[in-house]
Amino acid sequence: MSGMHHMLVHFPLGFWALATLMILIGALLPGRMAELNRVALLPVLVLSLLAALVAIISGFLVWPLEASTASPLARNHILTALWSLGVFTMLTVLVWRAGRSAFVGASRWALLLLALIGISIFATTGTIGGHLVGATTQFSELLKLFGWDVYHTFFVPTWVIGVMVLIGIACAVLGLKGRRTAS
């Protein structure tokens, strides 16, 4: 399954990289090319999610779960892969819901920010995948320069977990409150 996973991960990575580029163009450039990117973005995002699901499932089959969860590198790979999936799921839902309006006003900056976060996380996922197969890159040195050595499991203290959850809840509440006020 290891070889199959290596093959399958190219698809979400390719789609996500393409989607990020399309969002950049759609958000920052005017004209027909930008319009084409806005229109074509949703299918790319949907395909990326389908490909990611397949890739992640195949990834879980490479090693026994107890081995994956016992390895710091594998733990980081799983976390960043699922967070990548999370960010691009957000993008897919938002673009699906808004269509081309996703690029109107301040929304495009939200899209752009999410895309940049997503590409950062999935680049990290790929880098860690390289480490897992013994092919390291300088990108992990960059991450180390900014404070995280990929050989250390990425986990946070309990209070930070609480703050993260509170941020999520607060955002949701504020968003829903704004929706009611607007209506």
Partner 1 sequence: MARQDKGITPWLVLGLPVALGLAWVTQGTGVIQDDPERNIAIPDELTMPLQVQAAYNDSHIFFRYRWPAERPHILHDVLVYEDGDWVRKGSAVPGSNPDGLHEDRVAMMLDDGSVPDFARYGGYMAIGAGAAGLTDEAPEEVSKSMPGTRIDLTDWASRQAPETLEAQREAGYFLDLWHWRGHRSNPLNLSDDQWIGAERSGDAGRSPYTTNWDGDAGQPLWMLDPEEAGQAALRWEDIEAGRVDFDSPYFLAEDTAIDFDPDHDWQNGDVIPRRLVRQTEGSRGDITVQGEGRWNDGYWDVTLSRRLDTGNPLDDKILRDQGLYAAAFSVHRNATGGRWHSVSLPVSLGLGRDADLTATSFQGSTPEWADDWFDMTLFYPGQVNWPLLVSRAHAGAPDIAEGTPVHARHSERQLAIYGVEMEFNDAIIRQWGLTLLAGLITMLGVAIALLPVFRDTSTNRKGEAS
Find out whether 74 and 132 touch, Cβ atoms under 8 Å. yes
Amino acid symbol at 100:
R
Q: Does 53 bind partner 1 (CB under 8 A)?
A: no
Q: Does 97 interact with partner 1 (rule: CB under 8 A)? A: yes
* Non-local CB neighbours of 77 within 8 Å, separated by 6+ positions: 59, 125, 128, 129, 132
Q: With contacts defined by CB under 8 A, name the span among 7-15, 16-24, 27-35, 46-54 that binds partner 1.
A: 27-35
134 conformational bin, left if phi > 0, alpha if psi -120 to 50, beta if neither: left
Stretch that binds partner 1, among 4-12, 13-21, 42-50, 82-90 (CB under 8 A): 82-90
Which of 45, 102, 119, 123 forms a contact with partner 1 (CB under 8 A)? 102
Contact flag: residue 79 with partner 1 (CB under 8 A): yes
Given 66, 135, 138, 145, the residue binding partner 1 (CB under 8 A): 66
Based on the shown chain and the rule CB under 8 A, indicate whether residue 3 belongs to the binding site for partner 1: no
Task: Report in angstroms how near the CB of residue 139 gets to partner 1 at its nearest.
Answer: 15
Distance between CA 46 and CA 15 in Å, rounded?
A: 9
Closest CA to 35 of 91, 135, 103: 103
